[in-house]
Chains A and B, each alone.
Chain A
Amino acid sequence: MAEIKKVATRDSYGATLAELAAEIPNLVVLDADLAGATKTAKFKAACPERFIDCGIAEGNMMGVAAGLAAAGMIPFASSFAMFAAGRAFEQVRNSIGYPHLNVKIGATHAGISVGEDGATHQCCEDIALMRTIPGMVVINPADDVEARAAVRAAAQYVGPVYLRFGRMAVPVFNDPETYHFELGKGIVLREGKDVTVVATGLMVAEAIEAGKMLEEKGIDARIINIHTIKPLDEELICKAASETGKVITIEEHSVIGGLGDAVCAAVCENGIGCKVVKMGVHDEFGHSGPGGDLITEFGLRAANIVEEACKLLGK
């Protein structure tokens, strides 16, 4: 079997910004002394005059981005998820969200797969924080192909967008020739009638693998990739929930306030009687270690999905 190509979605972010430098003359990129890590250094190399380093001052960076947007620029403000969504939450809410300014927040190093830096840098709360801000679009791409498309879609969309990227290299499973990104629309990766697995971000690759493993066990799982957590593709999720009757959500994020909760709300509010199992980080902090090992330790592998599916189906 050929080796599957692996790319970190933060690399996709930086590379796409560098491409967009020539295509969108009013696109500017801001960073807070993390250009090497967020990969905005690629944009800086392509277009140094429109790269604005704000130093280690994320709150000010978000405000500056708001001012740039108010003056007609399209700013991408970049930092780690912890500092973009966490430290600067109130600046994002009041200076960007409230006036609905055209700012894109590029947040890398999301989730526990950050790895060795440990809990202070492993943000598992950003989706929850960002989705509470009125009008904020929240996108969590799954692989290189999707991340590149998401950055382009965000640049075209008018309004605030939160983009979530990972540090760790992950399998590229989408085909760039056929992949189509539509903001707010989930993607059915595998049809199935027994159980639905709704995954987002880096967990989508695990869900695809789980689908194959379940098939071998005679379980027909529907696999859905939700790249846009807000606005959520409720129609697709509710259809799957009512047709399969059982749903598993999986995210590299707290099970409080993230994809799982969004899916639960959609299912409940639409009156669908359906058991939902939320997989993710269960109300705890991460810790240091290789990112891949942490994913395994926190039970976010294909095998764990298979286990949950079997439990749900009583097999």
Chain B
Amino acid sequence: MNSNLKKELSITACKVRMGVIEGTHCAKSGHPGGSLSAADIMTYLYFSQMNVDPQNPNKPDRDRFVLSKGHVAPALYATLAHRGFFPVEELKTLRKIGSRLQGHPDMKKIPGVDMSSGSLGQGISAACGMAKAAKLTGADYRVYAMLGDGEIQEGQVWEAAMFASHYQLDNLCVLVDNNGLQIDGNIKDVMSPYPIDKKFEAFGFHVINIDGHDFDQIEAAYKEACTVKGKPTAIIAKTVKGKGVSFMENQASWHGTAPNDEQYEIAMKELGEQLAALEK
């Protein structure tokens, strides 16, 4: 990746993280931990990889993104807002009565959301349906799905994985945000899904392991996925839950807790400093 793009993406990802903190703080609820772990990948997808048009969010040939781990909606909303799908100011309405920004993504309300999601395990199936539709109609869009590492404990994920492989959906690329933590603690302790890469390989996927905070690796993985023929790709991204906010990093307790006023100030100060350093 060229250094200008990397700098731009890093700056945007930092702003997305600030949007996550802003939204969850205003809502006094929500899921900051997994939103922060997913921020770099979502930023890359919407600002570098995907064919989308904020002025025409439903254009038929757009690439699709399905947030199967729908609880990290704050990251998706912040990404969409910064990409121009709706005003950034609206992030402050997260989870409030009358807001379009529901606790989990609602495709009927928010421009740019391709599938309603939130009940874990279901998004990947919808992504399979979209990819299959493209195969049936000869459309050349690609479908991206993001799953949580806890989410893959749901059996439906593996029903969908079988489907994707069986129908050779090489226009489907799923990403597992492997931040290692779920609500009740470490995924290894709650119900280990490891080895994640070997499981997807066994289900017939082309598998790529990356550091989910390294834009070079993120870009290389998604570019590689585009070249794979005859099978879907799974990118297993090692990430840090709460990434970018010191006191949230690697803490399961920040899965579904919003920052209070004091924590909000500290988090925004930290992210502000990161942003200033990046913009230098």
Q: Which residues of A contact B (CB under 8 A)?
A: 26, 28, 49-50, 52, 54-55, 57, 59-73, 75, 90-91, 94-95, 98-100
Contact = CB atoms under 8 A, between A and B. Distances in A.
B13 to A, nearest CB: 27
A114 B126 CA distance: 31
Closest 10 CB pairs of A and B: A67-B129, A63-B125, A71-B133, A60-B159, A57-B159, A67-B126, A64-B129, A68-B129, A99-B116, A67-B130
26 contacts: A54-B163, A57-B159, A59-B121, A59-B125, A59-B159, A60-B125, A60-B128, A60-B160, A61-B125, A62-B125, A63-B125, A63-B128, A64-B126, A64-B132, A66-B115, A66-B126, A67-B126, A67-B128, A67-B129, A70-B115, A71-B64, A71-B137, A71-B139, A91-B122, A94-B119, A98-B106
A71 B125 contact: no
Contact of B133 (A67, A91, A98): A67
Nearest to A59: B156
Contacts of A98: 106, 116
Contacts of A66: 115, 125-126, 129
Interface of B: 60, 64, 66, 106-108, 114-116, 118-119, 121-134, 136-137, 139, 155-156, 159-160, 162-163, 166-167
Contacts, number: 111
Contacts of A94: 116, 118-119, 122
A100 B115 CA distance: 11
Given A91-B156, A94-B122, A72 B133 contact: yes
Given A59-B159, A63-B160, A99-B107, A68 B133 contact: yes
A101 B166 CA distance: 25
A57 to B, nearest CB: 4
Contact of B108 (A26, A67, A72, A100): A100
Nearest to B155: A59
B60 A67 contact: no
A64 to B, nearest CB: 4
Given A60-B160, A64-B163, A91 B125 contact: yes
B132 A95 contact: no
B80 to A, nearest CB: 17
B125 A67 contact: yes
Nearest to B154: A59
B130 A57 contact: no
Contact of B162 (A52, A57, A67, A100): A57
Given A50-B136, A63-B122, A63-B125, A70 B159 contact: no
B124 to A, nearest CB: 8
Contact of B127 (A49, A62, A67): A67
A61 to B, nearest CB: 8
Contacts of A68: 129-130, 132-133
B265 to A, nearest CB: 36
A60 B115 contact: no
A228 to B, nearest CB: 24
A64 B134 contact: no
Scoring A54, A60, A62, A90 by chain B CB atoms within 10 A of each residue's CB, the highest score goes to A60
Given A50-B136, A57-B162, A67 B115 contact: yes
A66 B163 CA distance: 14
A94 B102 CA distance: 14
A140 B127 CA distance: 31
B130 A70 contact: yes
A28 B162 CA distance: 20
Contacts of A90: 119
B114 to A, nearest CB: 7
Contact of B132 (A26, A52, A57): A52
A33 to B, nearest CB: 12
Contacts of B162: 55, 57, 60
A98 B122 CA distance: 13
A162 to B, nearest CB: 18
Contacts of A73: 133, 136-137
A159 to B, nearest CB: 12
A99 B115 CA distance: 8
Contacts of A100: 108
B107 to A, nearest CB: 5
B105 to A, nearest CB: 10
Nearest to A93: B119
Given A50-B136, A63-B128, A95 B160 contact: no
B65 to A, nearest CB: 12
Contact of A69 (B129, B139, B159, B167): B129
Contacts of B139: 71
A269 B104 CA distance: 35
Contacts of A54: 159, 163
A95 B125 contact: yes
A62 B125 CA distance: 8
Contacts of B60: 72
